[in-house]
Amino acid sequence: MVSLPCWIMSIVMTIAPQYDVPPYLVAAIIIKESQGNPLAVGRNNNGTYDRGLMQLNSSWFNGDWRCPETNILYGVRHLAWLYRETRDRSPHWWGAIVAYNCGLARYQSDRGPPASSLDYADDVMRIWNELCPVRRRIYR
């Protein structure tokens, strides 16, 4: 199990509660997305890039992605927005996690999210449970 350095967790513990996002969920996404590497960059098939700790997509975020505080802030704000948008279909965080991976439009499409995004959400939920084993386990 990958763990995050204290300095990253300190940022997460400061920012996530401000948006009512569970801090250990944010940590699980960071582990899944970048393994805690603030300089991580992933190239997508459509020519966009995912950058930083939370792998923010360059199509909607072109700010200072190398700054861990900024990257986490925008990732948390995006996750909080996704939660509000998906809770009618999924009243817990699982739907927001799926949408974080594939995008809200794809999550809400008639075809539904791709299987890879469902697997992604399952992985994030597993990591979240490992980081915070006393929380109530919520699955889809």
Q: Give the per-residue pLDDT at 139.
A: 45
Over residues 5-44, the pLDDT tens digits come to 999 999 999 999 999 999 999 999 999 999 999 999 999 8
- Looking at the domain assignment, is residue 137 inside a domain? no
Q: What is the pLDDT of residues 96-123, one digit of tens each?
A: 999 999 999 999 999 999 999 999 999 9
Q: What is the pLDDT of residue 65?
A: 86
In a domain, 31, yes or no: yes
First to last CA, the chain: 23
On the CB side of 130, how many CA atoms lie within 13 Å of its CA? 15
User: 37-91 pLDDT, tens per residue?
Assistant: 999 999 988 899 999 999 999 887 777 888 999 999 999 999 999 999 998 877 7
**Token pair listed for 45:** 């098939």
Q: Is 137 a residue whose pLDDT tops 80?
A: no
| Parent domain of 83 | 6-131
CATH number at residue 99: 1.10.530.10
The pLDDT of residue 140:
41
What is the C-alpha to C-alpha distance for residues 125 and 96, in angstroms, rounded to an integer? Answer: 11
Task: Name the band, by pLDDT with cuts 50, 70 and 90, for residue 1.
Answer: low
Tell whether 111 is covered by a domain: yes
Q: Is 104 within the bounds of a domain?
A: yes
Per-residue confidence (pLDDT) for residue 92, from 0 to 100: 86
Number of domains making up the chain: 1
Element of type H or E holding 64: none
9 contacts 27 by C-beta, under 8 angstroms: yes
Residue 139 forms part of a structural domain = no
